[in-house]
């Protein structure tokens, strides 16, 4: 199916369910709108699922879909580790031994490591091998990938979400693992937001100050060499992007198409969310901001999306860790939404609300 055909299938939220969810919140025996963003998160779920009866949805079966991919630009020394670490961490994820895996286990969340374009095949049986190409080319010298490959990677992300949906998942959490992927993220942020590279580039997984200066220089070179057209998302993605970013774009589009919420993680994930929103503005209603990455452009990307994140904890780890942290907010929100007595049930006279 063509990308445009997928995008056409995305419909707005169910407004009746949204209104009914607010009416329900406002009937509960507590200060009006007292749970702030948590109330909004539950209302968004109602609009997405098309029902205010959220208690009837037995199990959301949340899942972190981790897009694993390698970046040719790592050859320029833009990350403090080598590309072999991508595959190693994906294998560790197979054994449930990575940050997001340990956090997810705590919350009863499934984790699926997807190899969308590492340099090597994943060996662990839990890894979904869906390789579009074995790593991107070095964008400091040539386009990271072709436009066709970028589209194929987006479609691969859509297909991953479809498969998870068929397995019963009703909440998708985006995650990524790809050594060097903050470099394409910053390159894309600079182009798409029209910012100076130095403003949108950070230390990633832990670069030194000298390393950061070098990374900025490499990104400048990549943009100079490729001349991406900022008005054409696929051009920017294919020239200075990455396969994991493309895969996550697919997750946002696929989730919106199937009417399931898709949680945005950190900087890399929000660059993808921004691209998805540009390609399909309706998809934004299905996205959930979770935390604001401490990478310099983390907040800028959320601002560009017109979103604020409920959690600001200085996190900058990736893998979906920020989004999994925010999943706990749903647990509180839904516990109250489904369990708190109404004013009448709580024997409290409903006061006049100032809505
Ligand atoms: C052991 C390890 C585990 C990780 N888990 C997430 N990242 C994060 O760091 C990488 C991006 O940073 P940069 O662009 O500086 O390479 C990505 O893989 C991201 O998911 C990790 C990085 C490392 C080294
Ligand atoms: O915010 C992120 O997504 C991030 C930042 C640094 C390293 N990995 C991921």
* Listed residue (250, 261, 265) closest to 302, CA to CA: 265
Ligand 1: atom nearest CA of 74 is: 16
Question: What are residue 297's phi and psi, to 5 degrees?
Answer: -95, 5
Ligand 1: atom nearest CA of 203 is: 15
Percentage of the chain surpassing pLDDT 90? 97
DSSP SS3 for 342: strand
CA–CA dist 119, 20 (Å, integer): 49
* Listed residue (337, 325, 355, 174) closest to 264, CA to CA: 174
> What mean pLDDT, rounded, does the chain reach?
97
Name the DSSP class of 142.
Answer: S
DSSP H helices, 120-146, are none
CA–CA dist 135, 116 (Å, integer): 9
Residue ID of nearest Cα to ligand 1 atom 22: 205
The DSSP code sequence of 263-283 is E--SHHHHHHHHHHHHH-GGG
Name the DSSP class of 352.
Answer: P
What pLDDT score does 354 carry? 54
- Which contiguous run of DSSP H or E holds residue 103? helix 99-107
- What's the gap in Å between 61 CA and the centre of ligand 1? 26
CA–CA dist 53, 204 (Å, integer): 42
What pLDDT score does 303 carry? 98
Q: Is the CB of 72 under 6 A from ligand 1?
A: no
CA–CA dist 250, 3 (Å, integer): 10
Judged against a pLDDT cut of 70, whether residue 77 lies above it is answered with: yes
pLDDT tens digits for range 50-65: 999 999 988 999 999 9
- Crossing angle of helices 182-193 and 233-240, rounded to 10°: 150
pLDDT tier for residue 352 given thresholds of 50, 70 and 90: low
Whether 319 is catalytic: yes
Of 76, 91, 295, 319, which one is the catalytic site residue?
A: 319
Tally the C-alpha atoms within 13 A of residue 259's C-alpha that lie toward its C-beta: 12
What pLDDT score does 2 carry? 83
CA–CA dist 174, 269 (Å, integer): 7
Q: Which residues contact 345 (CB under 8 A, 6 or more apart)?
A: 29
CA–CA dist 224, 227 (Å, integer): 6
What pLDDT score does 134 carry? 98
Q: What is the mean pLDDT of residues 273-293?
A: 98
Q: What is the mean pLDDT of residues 309-336?
A: 98
pLDDT tier for residue 349 given thresholds of 50, 70 and 90: confident
Dihedral of the CA atoms 45, 158, 290, 59 (nearest 10)? 40
- What's the gap in Å between 180 CA and the centre of ligand 2? 10
Q: Is the CB of 286 under 6 A from ligand 2?
A: no
DSSP SS3 for 311: strand
Q: Which residues contact 192 (CB under 8 A, 6 or more apart)?
A: 230, 233, 236, 271, 274, 275, 278, 304
What pLDDT score does 168 carry? 97
- What's the gap in Å between 42 CA and the centre of ligand 2? 27
Probe target for ligand 1 pocket from 114, 173, 177, 214, with the most ligand atoms within 8 Å of CB: 177
Q: Is the CB of 255 under 6 A from ligand 2?
A: no
pLDDT tier for residue 1 given thresholds of 50, 70 and 90: low
- What's the gap in Å between 238 CA and the centre of ligand 2? 20
Judged against a pLDDT cut of 80, whether residue 353 lies above it is answered with: no
Q: Give the 3-state secondary structure percentages of the chain, helix then strand then coil, rounded to 5.
A: 50, 10, 40
Q: Is the CB of 316 under 6 A from ligand 2?
A: yes
Q: The complex's ipTM?
A: 0.99
Q: Are 65 and 160 in contact (CB under 8 A)?
A: yes
């Amino acid at each position: 199916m063509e990308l445009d055909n997928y995008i056409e299938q995305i419909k707005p939220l169910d407004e009746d369910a949204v209104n009914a969810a607010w009416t329900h919140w406002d009937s509960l025996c507590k200060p009006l709108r007292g749970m702030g963003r948590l109330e909004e998160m539950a209302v968004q779920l109602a609009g997405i699922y098309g029902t205010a009866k959220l208690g009837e949805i037995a199990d959301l079966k949340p899942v972190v879909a981790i897009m694993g991919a390698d970046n040719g630009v790592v050859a320029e020394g833009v990350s403090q580790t080598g590309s072999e670490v991508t595959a190693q961490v994906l294998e560790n994820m197979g054994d449930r031994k990575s940050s997001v895996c340990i956090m997810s286990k705590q919350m009863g969340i499934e984790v699926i490591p997807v190899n969308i374009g590492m340099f090597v095949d994943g060996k662990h049986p839990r890894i979904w091998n869906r390789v579009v190409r074995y790593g991107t080319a070095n964008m400091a010298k040539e386009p990271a990938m072709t436009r066709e490959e970028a589209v194929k990677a987006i479609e691969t992300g859509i297909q991953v979400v479809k498969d998870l949906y068929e397995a019963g998942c009703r909440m998708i959490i985006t995650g990524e693992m790809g050594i060097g992927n903050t470099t394409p993220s910053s390159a894309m942020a600079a182009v798409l937001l029209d910012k100076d590279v130095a403003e949108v580039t950070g230390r990633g997984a832990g670069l030194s100050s000298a390393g950061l200066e070098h990374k900025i220089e490499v990104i400048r070179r990549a943009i100079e060499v490729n001349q991406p057209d900022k008005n054409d998302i696929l051009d920017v993605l294919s020239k200075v992007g990455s396969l994991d970013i493309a895969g996550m774009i697919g997750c946002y589009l696929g989730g919106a198409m199937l009417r399931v919420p898709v949680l945005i993680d950190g900087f890399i994930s929000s660059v993808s969310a921004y691209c998805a929103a540009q390609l399909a503005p309706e998809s934004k209603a299905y996205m959930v901001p979770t935390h604001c990455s401490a990478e310099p452009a983390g907040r800028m990307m959320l601002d560009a999306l017109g979103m604020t994140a409920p959690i600001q904890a200085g996190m900058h780890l990736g893998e979906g860790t920020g989004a999994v942290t925010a999943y706990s907010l749903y647990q509180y929100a839904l516990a109250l939404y489904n369990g708190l007595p109404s004013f009448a049930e709580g024997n409290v006279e409903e006061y006049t609300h100032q809505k």
